[in-house]
Amino acid sequence: MADDLLTQLKGMTTVVADTGDIEAIRRFQPTDATTNPSLILQAAQQEGRRARLGEIARQATDIDDALDAVAVDIGSEISALVPGYVSTEVSARLSFDTQASLDRAHSLIERYQRQGVDPARVLIKLAATWEGIRAAQVLEREGIHTNLTLMFNFDQARACADAGATLVSPFVGRILDWHKAQDPQADFEGDRDPGVQSVRRIYEHFKGHGYDTVVMGASFRNRGEITALAGCDRLTISPALLGELAERQEPLERRLSPLDAETRTPEPQNEADFRWALNEDPMATEKLAEGIRKFMADQRQLETLLGELRKG
């Protein structure tokens, strides 16, 4: 009998847990873990964390200080359970401010150092806006690793690779959501899934042109999207879907493999080209804006919670 799908997937792709749930990380033993404002909010609402959150909130100088302290506290706990990277996100409020993103990234790295976590194991997550990508370029030159998120568009991915980002997180499920809303009767199963197609195009471009930037598919809606991308550098997967993969025993075919690199990489984009390409892609434009708004909505809930705890 074949191994379960999760075991087979780990043999061809680095599996990353898309969660702040410590128990889920212990159960599935991923190599890396990613968090975002929504996942930090979920983790912060767990009853067992209330006392620790209250302590952090009362020691903080302000809400921004408390937010970063909570994110790093949870990230540090996760780092003890995974051998690889832990991703921690810069506030979505700073998605269009390069300098503020840099300042916040430096603060997060300093906090991790004080917690005894090697900065080389931290990925600073930034929205793949033009400003976020420019911040990533500076950070990478400083030796700080970055993960560019909220990626819905090939031109976003190209710009990130040109900037030297360590890793990009193209979203699969949210792309599918948009196309389903536009055409509810269409068949988007398997290779017809537009999110799967997007990740494959990015992966093949990066491998075909010798980019070092890692491709990590994210935001999955179903098991089929994951198996259709088996062989991708990394896949970040929710605990629910990790559980599904662990429970199914059937053969898993590798679907993505590196290509021989060409000798010349394409010319990098300038800002005008980047913004025009995004403007011409209504799906990417809408989902990027929506993603930033959703992360901020969850961050505001966390700010409210921490504000209440600061008051005691």
Q: What is the DSSP string of 283-311?
A: HHHHHHHHHHHHHHHHHHHHHHHHHHHHH
Q: Which tokens is 23 given? A: 């128990």
Instruction: Give dist(CA 95, CA 139) in Å, integer.
Output: 15
Q: Which of 125, 180, 287, 311 is catalytic?
A: 125
Contact 183, 236 (CB under 8 A): no
Residue 256 has φ and ψ, to the nearest 5°, of: -125, 135
**Surface-to-core class of residue 114, CB atoms within 10 Å of its CB (0-12 exposed, 13-18 middle, 19+ buried):** exposed
- Is 287 annotated as catalytic? no
Instruction: Give dist(CA 124, CA 162) in Å, integer.
Output: 17
- Left, alpha or beta for 25 (phi > 0: left; psi -120 to 50: alpha)? alpha
Tell me the residue ranges of DSSP E strands in the chain: 14-18, 32-34, 86-89, 122-127, 146-151, 167-170, 214-217, 234-237
Mapping DSSP to helix (H, G, I), strand (E, B) and coil, where does residue 44 land? helix
Written as one letter, the residue type at 75 is G
Give the active site residues.
125
